[in-house]
Structure 1
């Protein structure tokens, strides 16, 4: 049943992820965090951040990792195939159709009408990430990191993966807080159980 659920979850992502990798991220979130609860929001955010810093399409990277985490090597293969097979089939069919009828106004309008929907999906996901960041880091740190990232990526032309890598390195190398490390907090929770 787990393999079937993995296949269905990532098949839906592959079918409805119109617009490429970024547009499929909210769909992956809906399946993985909200529907099947294979991950928490924080775990998903970590996977997304790390996946964005690595080369290759984000949807297949996330499918591979999540599939592996849920059901090992078989789950990884299942999730990746479920993600790419629908896309390949739809791409062949859709491109053949669009090339034959691209001069028709309704075909052109159909492809343009999807863009705002994808934009809204990305905006909702971004808003959720900002809310979570605000809870974990506070308003000012969230605004500072968000503004600096925007300026570096859009204004300075810095690759997003490089910005994420620098932030990950900073988080790893920063001095521990006075309250103790996350490891200490996790250990104390485990001991109290």
Structure 2
């Protein structure tokens, strides 16, 4: 039964998340933590740290790791297939009809309407994760400094991850 719940949860996440992995985080958190209680917020944040460091799309990595935590290897497979299935179906559908409608103003308007929602989902995910990631003032300072360095000084994200890991090991 857990596999069916896992499949349905990640199918919903894949079907209703526009804008990639970061936009999916609020839906993933709601399904995994709030709806099913498969893990705590702290466990979710720890898995997100691993997902961020591994190569590949965040949504697929999240589904794979979270599926494994819930139901082992089979859970990884089920969650990963479920999260990509809606995209595959949608892409095949769009590819079939896009040549007919690519110049339609309605298609352009629809995508212009979706963009702000994607931004809102990403901001929501950031705020949600920030609440639980900043466990004390030291973490808040570290996160703020790294955000500044990445955003304004163009520090490479891999270097930021290494700095955060080393700094966390030292101060905690």
TM-score, normalised to structure 2's length? 0.89
CA-to-aligned-CA distance 1:91-116 (integer Å, 9 cap, x gap): 12124333421211111010111111
Taking the TM superposition and a 5 Å limit, the aligned residue runs for 1:106-117 are 106-117=106-117
Do the aligned partners of 2:33 and 2:41 also contact (CA within 8 Å) in 1? yes
Q: Quick one: structure 1 residues 175 and 123, their matched pair in 2 at CA, closer, same or farther if it must change by over 3 Å?
A: closer
Q: Supply the distance in 2 between the matched residues of 1:10 and 1:24 (Cα, whole angstroms).
A: 10
> Which residues of structure 1 form unaligned runs of 5+?
177-193
Structure number with higher relative contact order (C-alpha < 8 Å, ≥ 6 residues apart): 2
Q: Supply the distance in 1 between the matched residues of 2:24 and 2:83 (Cα, whole angstroms).
A: 10
Taking the TM superposition and a 5 Å limit, the aligned residue runs for 1:114-193 are 114-134=114-134, 136-138=135-137, 141-142=139-140, 144-171=141-168, 173-174=169-170
Q: Quick one: structure 1 residues 162 and 32, their matched pair in 2 at CA, closer, same or farther if it must change by over 3 Å?
A: farther
Q: Quick one: structure 1 residues 111 and 175, their matched pair in 2 at CA, closer, same or farther if it must change by over 3 Å?
A: closer
Q: Quick one: structure 1 residues 100 and 152, their matched pair in 2 at CA, closer, same or farther if it must change by over 3 Å?
A: farther
Q: Quick one: structure 1 residues 75 and 110, their matched pair in 2 at CA, closer, same or farther if it must change by over 3 Å?
A: same
RMSD: 1.9
Q: Quick one: structure 1 residues 3 and 110, their matched pair in 2 at CA, closer, same or farther if it must change by over 3 Å?
A: same
Q: Hey, what does 2:91 align to over in structure 1?
A: 91
Do the aligned partners of 2:20 and 2:58 also contact (CA within 8 Å) in 1? no
> Which residues of structure 2 form unaligned runs of 5+?
none
Rg larger in structure: 1
Residue-pair matches, total: 172
Structure 1 counterpart SS, 2:155: coil
Q: Quick one: structure 1 residues 78 and 100, their matched pair in 2 at CA, closer, same or farther if it must change by over 3 Å?
A: same
